[in-house]
A = this chain, B = another copy of it.
């Protein structure tokens, strides 16, 4: 066995042992650790910024784009923000030990379904070093050990953050291997971890499509995937004009580069003349490029023809496809054909249209008269999230602390047999 394999084996086995110990720690101990981490982040912010500057210099030399460099950058303000986020996770209720449900059976057995941690999480992410702290805090709060694999461009920043995490784990009496940062940037290390389905319980890749596809292909354990968000807003015949404008503008423009931003606007034919001209003007005045179907282009000056490929694309930019549909059925059909089952919204005052949309659009989040931007752990009341799952299995939509858990049945009897 080569030395890389020795290293990854040791990391995974240490994580496994840490997870076993961690599962029996009190919620208070795990919460208090988070508060210490927040304090140390604030206390050591200048050291963190200095380490980060080494990454920024290297990144400039390597020709990273200014957007990449901005994602990589940790200012003192950003470190303060990280510390505050850790405190928010500390304030969330402990998911571990929650009695999810229980019953007493006719034979007197008492059944309790009790929440337990998943175990060991392998978390793969890219340039933003703050994710190191976010992921560690969410994993430990939910009783899981975590193996962190950050991007090589953030290595010095991540090492500085990891030093704080390890020191505080040790001082708090929690297993020091509960959080481990993979210190090699060898791509093969990822492949080795992905083959350790017997030691690692779930892999969470956060990054571009090619990373997620590689992980899905190679992983021998479950993966929580976060694929495209091709999100729609459908304006029904009965949509209120101002509400329609507010929701479309918010869904498209508030943060166009995120997964729950809208990509396509669908409008019922009966509302096209009433809504489209003003809507187009509001969007265009905010710099949105409109790509329209033939009917749309009758009402909208400056819209270029939309292609089928546009309907299938997550632009993540100020580009919006617009299509006029003959009926709610056609809208739902469009969403089924081109959408990614992430987040889709209807604007309507027609109760039966709202009901049909709710039941027939099978997306992780279906919005009625609300912005697509609300598909978010914080906004839905889950607290902080580790990602938004595009899977149907285990966790769908935002993944908060509970989604990082499994359960077990505890059965208490007094000698019952079958």
Contacts and interface: CB of A to CB of B under 8 A. Distances in A.
Interface stretch (A289-297, A308-316, A390-398): A390-398
A366 B411 contact: yes
Interface in A374-418: 374-375, 379-381, 391-394, 396-397, 406-418
A235 interface: no
Interface string A230-256: 000000000010110011011000100
Interface stretch (A122-130, A153-161, A163-171, A356-364): A356-364
A411 B250 contact: no
B409 A360 contact: no
Copies in the complex: 2
A249 B417 CA distance: 9
Contacts of A379: 105, 109, 418
A365 interface: yes
B412 A370 contact: yes
Nearest to A224: B393
Nearest to A112: B358
A304 to B, nearest CB: 27
Nearest to A364: B408
B368 A24 contact: no
B396 A407 contact: yes
A318 interface: no
Contacts of A202: 393
Most buried by B among A246, A379, A393: A393
A201 interface: yes
B119 A413 contact: no
A363 B202 CA distance: 18
Contacts of A242: 415
Interface string A102-133: 01010001010000101100000000000000
Given A368-B410, A380-B111, A411-B366, A359 B24 contact: yes
A272 B417 CA distance: 22
Contacts of A74: none
Interface string A343-372: 000000000001000111011111111110
A414 B369 CA distance: 5
Contacts of A31: none
Contact of A408 (B23, B254, B397): B397
A373 B109 CA distance: 13
A240 B250 CA distance: 67
A345 to B, nearest CB: 9
Contacts of A118: 392-393
A288 to B, nearest CB: 16
A371 B417 contact: yes
Given A105-B379, A380-B111, A392-B201, A367 B413 contact: yes
A336 interface: yes
A222 interface: yes
Contacts of A216: 220
A116 B103 CA distance: 24
A79 to B, nearest CB: 25
A85 to B, nearest CB: 18
Contacts of A359: 24
Interface in A12-57: 20, 23-24
25 contacts: A24-B359, A103-B381, A105-B379, A105-B381, A116-B362, A118-B392, A118-B393, A222-B393, A222-B394, A250-B417, A362-B408, A365-B409, A366-B408, A367-B411, A368-B411, A370-B411, A370-B412, A370-B415, A373-B417, A375-B411, A392-B406, A393-B393, A396-B407, A396-B408, A397-B409
